[in-house]
Amino acid sequence: MVKKFLKGFRKITALTMVSMLLVSGLSGCAGGSEVSADASSQSSTEQSTQKSEKEKTRYDKIKESGKLQVIMEPYFAPYEFIDSSKSGQEQYKGADVELAKYIADKMDVELEIVPLEWTAVLTGISTGKYDMAISGMGYTQERAEAMTLSSPYRATDSQHGFVVKADTVDSFTSLDSFTGKRIGFQKGTLQEMYATAQIKDLQPQPFDSVQNAILALQSGKVEAVAVSYDNGELFCDANADLSMAEPLFEGTKDQTVVACPKGAEALMAEVNAAIAEVNEQELYAQWWDDATASAKELGVSQ
């Protein structure tokens, strides 16, 4: 009897241990399942966050950072120029600077002006590196294809012509007078486009800035510099040896616009709303007159 009892007890004990192991094993599986669910949930959250970041517009990111980066070439008075008596952001002056301030205020963000050479302004926007360009930029179809352009904030029958040496001005009486001449211009500008299209047998002399083209004129390396008339007049006011030639390029009705990276539609909607207010109140004309007077007072020739 005792042997039978012990034998039965061993069977019960063995079955109990097997059951406990099974339960423990199942518990382990359940625990593993919970870890896997947590990891899956975390992965899903990360993916959702990444997707959300990608879906943020440039406007969203500007509002989130609280800063708007506006690039310009600050050597194109009265659009934008530098007051050398000041430093930092305070040194940037001009009608375009006032427009940039207006847009930043309307968006309730801090304005940061980033000075660049003109070609870098164009690539900085077309590649999406910066938020916005406000730099006396005229509308062209080529630019419209590479960037998102605003409605015009300055639409005028702007004049584009030539700065020449004052002692040669009488020899330039028509566009034909520039045939075969060495004419300087800033690369990537409307003046390059006009000179290339309207001057016969042009000997083009591209420069990275208008200032360098003017220096080349003064040193005799070029015979004329193609410029925006307003900008050219300031050079002539500051340099007695220079003069504006009488002939002007033909068909130069300009539309000056703000540029943002391609696809920045939400940001451009804010820009266009600001421009509409500026145009309605005729603010840009006031800024232009003030900037012109200030540039002359400072003796700014750029």
Per-residue pLDDT of the chain (302 residues; tens, 9 = 90+): 444 444 444 444 443 443 443 334 433 333 334 445 555 555 555 554 454 565 689 999 999 999 999 999 999 999 999 999 999 999 999 999 999 999 999 999 999 999 999 999 999 999 999 999 999 999 999 999 999 999 999 977 678 999 999 999 999 999 999 999 999 999 999 999 999 999 999 999 999 999 999 999 999 999 999 999 889 999 999 999 999 999 999 987 778 999 999 999 999 999 999 999 999 999 999 999 999 999 999 887 54
Amino acid making up residue 56 = K
Q: How many of the other CB atoms lie within 10 Å of CB of 258?
A: 28
Q: Please report where in the chains the tokens 């309605």 appear, as a residue.
A: 280
pLDDT, tens only, 27-72:
333 333 444 555 555 555 555 445 456 568 999 999 999 999 999 9
C-alpha 59, offset from chain centre: 13
pLDDT, tens only, 216-239:
999 999 999 999 988 999 999 999
Determine how β-strand 254-261 pairs with β-strand 132-138. Answer: antiparallel
**80, 96 in Cβ contact below 8 A?**
yes
Name the CA dihedral angle for 124, 127, 133, 139, rounded to a multiple of 10 degrees.
120
Rounded to whole angstroms, the Cα distance separating 93 from 300 reads 11
How does 62-93 read in b/e, with b if 16+ C-beta sit within 10 Å?
bbeeeebbbbbbbbbbbbbbbbeeeeeeebbb
Amino acid making up residue 102 = Y
